[in-house]
Amino acid sequence: MKKTDYILTFFKGISMGAADVIPGVSGGTIAFITGIYERFINAIKSINIANIKLLLKGKFKEFWINIDGFFLTVLLSGIAVSFVSLAKLMTFLIENHPILVWSFFFGLIIASTIFIARSVKWNTKTLTAFIIFTVTAFFITSPENSPLNSNEEYWYIFLCGAIAVCAMILPGISGSFILILLGQYLFMMKSLAEFDFIVIGFFLCGAGVGIAMFSRVLSWLFKHFKTITLASLAGFMFGSLNKIWPWKNTISTIIDNHGTSQPLSQKNILPSVYSKITNADSQLISALIFALIGFLLIFTIEFIAKKLKK
């Protein structure tokens, strides 16, 4: 890799990390847009038993070349920088400006869905897959369902790491969004912000196991059913929008381990209804602006990526 390649790869890693911290667009989408997705998946796939044996035998150079070590190290360094630097900011914004934050994410998800959908060759099979996953995601992510509550048990943190990392490498589904569904997003952001190395360690171990297994499944799906897979991802994202809807009425709450009241189940409501129920400003105009910013951000990244390729 040239020096400029290192720099570009590092910033692509930062962009991927930022995307994964924000529950609206995945790091996989950024990798897809910036043209490094297949290289990223292949590098992860290369960390297998055969190459690990080379490492154990002291054949470090051969191992390093086989796993595309320089590329993977630089990229992961950029991702790590984003995780650490943005964790506190995201925790603060969600706790203090929820409507604007969720509006921004709403715009991100719509744009990401469109971006993925443009890569699909639409026919009866892909349209069917899109509809099935849209409907399934809509019911699974309904805020009126009692969502999974935050669980600080180490086995659950490990499991969340394994599941979330699978979404992080998919071009379309945000790992952070999966953490929201699992009830762990805010807890993991606080753990990162507070440098809770035990929690982070269990999460990373789960992520390591998950990515090692899922990268092979993903590679197989994209090789044999690429368009159907992309259509399914687009459907899942589109159907999940009701989870990100900014205006909600809390139906029931639960007290977490820190004595803080957290929503247990909610109902999506119109901005006007939100104002009546809460006697607070719905921030409708600001929310629309933030949603538009989120929407345009995806296509701005795509535009910049195309310019860099040229």
Q: Scanning the structure block, which residue is given the tokens 């459907």? A: 235
Residue 15: φ, ψ to 5°? -65, -40
Enter the tokens of residue 251: 């139906």
Q: Is the predicted pLDDT of residue 212 greater than 60, yes or no? A: yes
Outline where DSSP puts E strands in 142-188.
none
pLDDT band at residue 283 under the 50/70/90 scheme: very high
Q: Is the predicted pLDDT of residue 146 greater than 80, yes or no? A: no
Residue 293: φ, ψ to 5°? -60, -45
Cα angle at 31 between 294 and 174, to 5 degrees?
55
Q: How confident is the model over 150-157, as a mean pLDDT? A: 80
Q: In sequence order, what are the beta bridge partners of 248?
A: 268
79-109: pLDDT as tens digits? 888 877 776 777 678 778 889 988 988 888 8
- The pLDDT of residue 6: 76
Q: What is the C-alpha to C-alpha distance for residues 251 and 202, in angstroms, rounded to an integer? A: 33
The domain ranges of the chain are 3-309
Q: Is the predicted pLDDT of residue 124 greater than 90, yes or no? A: yes
112-137 per-residue burial string, b: 16 or more CB within 10 A, e: under 16: bbebbbeebeeeeebeebbeebbeeb
Phi and psi based region of residue 247 (left: phi greater than 0; alpha: psi -120 to 50; beta: remaining): beta
CB 256 within 8 A of CB 278: no
What number of residues does the chain have?
310
Q: How confident is the model over 66-78, as a mean pLDDT? A: 88
Q: Is the predicted pLDDT of residue 130 greater than 80, yes or no? A: yes
